Structure 1
Amino acid sequence: MTVKISQTAEIQSFFREVSGFGNDDGSPRFKQIVLRILQDTAKLIEDMEITDDEFWKAVDYLNRMGSGQEAGLLVAGLGVEHFLDLLQDAKDQQAGLQGGTPRTIEGPLYVAGAPLCDGEARMDDGQDPGTVMFLHGQVLDPNGLPVTGAVVDVWHANTNGTYSYFDQSQSAFNLRRRIVTDSQGCYRARSILPSGYGCPPSGTTQEALNLLGRHGQRPAHIHFFISAPGYRHLTTQINLSGDKYLWDDFAYATRDGLIGEVKFSDGTEAAQALGVQGRFGEVEFDFQLQAATAPAAEQRSQRPRALQGA
């Protein structure tokens, strides 16, 4: 016979005490959130008949996840970060906000403070033997007109699927740049074609995915923040065409309208004109911004992020 006590007046009163409702200090908002977490956790324990062993194994998992700094990876893998995008999409629809390039998840691997370049940039440090990539496009306003002075903050992995700063073997800000669009709203970058990556095989995120019978692979992709005065900040990424995991992304970041087509060229003359030896890839992708309805909309979220040198 299942025993349930969480909804009794005594337990509810206890949870309110634990959540700080017996004092006037602290944060009222935080108190409400903690109370809800306690109530929902207790109900889950009762409804699913969670054993003591299962509960403490979960506590141990959270400890290991934190020590491995994989919380950001796990919320992507469990679809929570994608859910936040879908929720914001629904809010936009309700508010009548539409158009522009779709948003998608930021992921946990951004680093603030990348070098700022005018119009174009060389993103790689020349140490990776990967295929040269030329990335370019325009930033446009809601009417399709170029946005001058927009900041295209772009970052991606190397051919091993790792990111500078988190991979200490790479130079600072390798494959990370901020590019200010020119008078035609254009940005241009020379880099290398990134590879997809998998969750650390011995990490806690893959541990959870294994229990769900799921893989932890991402397709090759390129991340972007796009910002300009008067326009709504855009967080997005493009997943590259031809990748095995293009529509099977463990982080659910692939969305219609966010596929970057890679066009390869082996033409000797074209390569020589661009100063490239042999085969190279070209990715052209334009971004269309929404007008900002309030100054706060111009800013990205206050999510904690890595800072080089910090």
Structure 2
Amino acid sequence: MSVKIFDKPEVQDFLTKVAGLDKPDGNPRVKQIVHRLLSDIYKAIDDLDITPDEYWTGIAWLNEIGAAGQAGLISPGLGIDHFLDERLDAIDEALGIKNETPRTIEGPLYVAGAPIAHGFARLDDGTDTNGHTLIMHGTVYGDDGKPLPDATVEVWHCDTRGFYSHFDPTGKQAPFNMRRTIVTDDKGCYKFQSIVPKGYGVPPGSPTEQALSALGRHGQRPAHIHLFISGDGHRKLTTQINIAGDPLVNDDFAYATRDGLVPEIVEHTDEVSIKANSLSGPFAEIKFDIHLTALVDGVDNQINELRKRAAA
């Protein structure tokens, strides 16, 4: 037997009280959001006949997610980060802004304060002996289509085991390994040497994996490289590229893959190319140009300064 009580006046009055809408104090925006979210939850309980056991199972899972520090991991896994990007794209379209370089999700593993280099940086420290040398380079362009000197390109990625420095459970990596901030040269160019990263998955047995398994989904990501790009008079761009050829490029549990963010990877074995890059052996090359967009009425209308990010 299905019983529905959501639309009863006393339930609607109760929601108003719970959200504090009947009180003058508090934050009006918080009240508005809480009232809507609680209304959706109450209605879902009613419509889906969610039992107390199912509800408290969910509460236990939320506790586990919090204890594991994985809220920032399950968020992209549930497509919320991607949905936020889609909304930003729609807002830009309404404003007549074209993003030649697409935005995509940040992920939870950025660390502020990476060492600064000018024009060129070596990201890895050479300790990952399973790594295949990578040279990645490109030009940052301003909204006028011209190269943008002194732009900043923040870059970070994982090692061949799928671990990021500062979050490596083995403690093997030194601080800021495979993390740098590169200031573009007078031609707007950036370049770095590192290793080709590997794809990775959510921690086995974690509450994130449990949720994805219950949805019949995997928790794997293709190999990728994260980027923040900023320049005077321009909006900060949050994006990442996937490594072409990875079997999960179009099956990313975090839904970060977007057209225009899968540049080709070119292998070089010839001596001329090797010597031109001051290397001792074969390497992979990725060329990725970046186009920034202008501020909107003098303001970056998409930057999120309030997000809590790790700092060394």
Q: TM-score, normalised by structure 1?
A: 0.95
**Corresponding residue number in structure 2 for 1:280:** 283
Contact kept, 8 Å, 1:119 with 1:182, in 2: the verdict is yes
**Corresponding residue number in structure 2 for 1:201:** 204
Structure 2 residue identity aligned to 1:218: R
Contact kept, 8 Å, 2:200 with 2:222, in 1: the verdict is yes
C-alpha separation between the residues in 2 aligned to 1:85 and 1:298?
13
**Corresponding residue number in structure 1 for 2:161:** 160
Structure 2 residue identity aligned to 1:152: V
C-alpha separation between the residues in 1 aligned to 2:303 and 2:269?
39
Counterparts of residues 215-234 of structure 1 (less than 5 Å): 215-234=218-237
- Taking a change above 3 Å as real, the CA distance of residues 299 and 169 of structure 1, as seen in their structure-2 partners, is farther
1:264 equivalenced with 2:263 (yes/no): no
Per-residue CA shift, 1:152-174, capped at 9, x if unaligned?
Answer: 01111111111111113211111
Q: Which moved more, 1:198-207 or 1:268-277?
A: 268-277
Give the unaligned 5+ runs of structure 2.
Answer: none
Kindly state the Cα deviation for residue 141 of structure 1 after the two structures are TM-superposed.
Answer: 1.8
1:290 equivalenced with 2:282 (yes/no): no
Secondary structure of 1:4's counterpart equals coil
Q: Which moved more, 1:18-27 or 1:240-249?
A: 18-27
Contact kept, 8 Å, 1:123 with 1:177, in 2: the verdict is yes
Kindly state the Cα deviation for residue 46 of structure 1 after the two structures are TM-superposed.
Answer: 0.6
Kindly state the Cα deviation for residue 208 of structure 1 after the two structures are TM-superposed.
Answer: 1.1
Contact kept, 8 Å, 1:99 with 1:142, in 2: the verdict is no
**Corresponding residue number in structure 2 for 1:40:** 40
**Corresponding residue number in structure 2 for 1:56:** 56
**Corresponding residue number in structure 2 for 1:185:** 188
Per-residue CA shift, 1:107-150, capped at 9, x if unaligned?
Answer: 11111111111111111111111111111100012342100110
Per-residue CA shift, 1:11-61, capped at 9, x if unaligned?
Answer: 111121121223222111111111112111110001001011111000000
C-alpha separation between the residues in 1 aligned to 2:20 and 2:261?
45
C-alpha separation between the residues in 2 aligned to 1:299 and 1:138?
22
% same residue = 51
Kindly state the Cα deviation for residue 96 of structure 1 after the two structures are TM-superposed.
Answer: 1.2
Contact kept, 8 Å, 1:227 with 1:298, in 2: the verdict is no
C-alpha separation between the residues in 2 aligned to 1:105 and 1:92?
16
Kindly state the Cα deviation for residue 193 of structure 1 after the two structures are TM-superposed.
Answer: 0.8
Structure 2 residue identity aligned to 1:229: D
Give the unaligned 5+ runs of structure 1.
Answer: none
Secondary structure of 1:83's counterpart equals helix
1:8 equivalenced with 2:8 (yes/no): yes
C-alpha separation between the residues in 2 aligned to 1:58 and 1:254?
29
C-alpha separation between the residues in 2 aligned to 1:170 and 1:25?
49
Kindly state the Cα deviation for residue 271 of structure 1 after the two structures are TM-superposed.
Answer: 2.5
Kindly state the Cα deviation for residue 251 of structure 1 after the two structures are TM-superposed.
Answer: 0.9
Secondary structure of 1:237's counterpart equals strand
1:307 equivalenced with 2:311 (yes/no): yes
Q: TM-score, normalised by structure 2?
A: 0.95
Runs of 4+ residues deviating >4 angstroms: none
Structure 1 residue identity aligned to 2:263: G
**Corresponding residue number in structure 2 for 1:95:** 95
- Taking a change above 3 Å as real, the CA distance of residues 99 and 22 of structure 1, as seen in their structure-2 partners, is closer
Counterparts of residues 102-141 of structure 1 (less than 5 Å): 102-129=102-129, 130-141=131-142
